[in-house]
Amino acid sequence: MPLNDGRPSTSTSDDQNSDTESSERCDSMTSSSDTECSRQSFTSDSSSKRSSPASSPPKMVTFDDLMTSARDLSNLSLAHEIVMVKFNNAVKCLSVKSFNMTEALENVSAQIRTELNKSLTEQGYPALPAQVQVALTGQICTIEHKDNSIRNLTGKLI
């Protein structure tokens, strides 16, 4: 509570006067920060406590409502466990203990050949001949070598 002449304030007019005084003091002070002024104004505002409505009475809940909420919470917990188990299994599948570059490049080569042949036939062109497919596979599988023509071509473009 704000003090006036050493006595606690008991009337709302005293509170309003002290609020006005504190806001004028904050406006006139150049060294204090805005947060200090707002804090002083807020803490000295005891009239708002008197005029604020009382909290609403507690809501009565039936036993059935309580059990329904408990069941829903249990279902939510179970769903979370299922999701986490699936997530953990997916992460385990992604973590490869041994990585074989040659095998990975062969898989990539097969996917590229499939997509390329599919795109060519959709556009009305014939699929790649077997000899070209073998050459493409060889180029992709040896892309890690510095003298690879695909690597050199993409290196120049990038």
DSSP per-residue letters across 18-73: HHHHHHHHHHH-SSS-HHHHHHHHHHT--HHHHHSPPPPPPPP--HHHHHHHHHHH
Is 127:117 a contact under the CB 8 Å cutoff? yes
Q: What is the pLDDT of residues 102-146, one digit of tens each?
A: 888 888 889 999 999 899 989 889 988 999 989 888 888 887 788
Question: What's the mean pLDDT in 8-30?
Answer: 49
Q: Could you identify the residue written with the tokens 């036939």?
A: 121
Among 1-5, 64-68, 76-80, 147-151, the range scoring the smallest mean pLDDT is 1-5
Higher pLDDT, 97 or 43: 97
Selected residue with higher pLDDT from 90 and 30: 90
pLDDT for 6 equals: 52
Percent of the chain with pLDDT over 90: 4
pLDDT at 8: 52
**3-state SS of the chain: helix, strand, coil percent to 5?**
70, 5, 30
pLDDT (average), residues 61-86:
85
DSSP type of residue 158: -
Quote the CA–CA distance of 86 and 17 in Å, as a whole number: 65
SS3 4: strand
Instruction: Give helix 130-141 / helix 101-122 axis angle, nearest 10°.
Output: 140
Amino acid letter for position 38: S
pLDDT of 60 above 70: yes
pLDDT value for 85: 82
- The pLDDT of residue 46 is above 70: no
pLDDT for residue 35 is more than 80 = no
Q: How is residue 101 written in tokens? A: 């570059």
Task: Answer yes or no: is pLDDT of 155 > 50.
Answer: yes
Q: Give pTM, 2 decimals.
A: 0.35
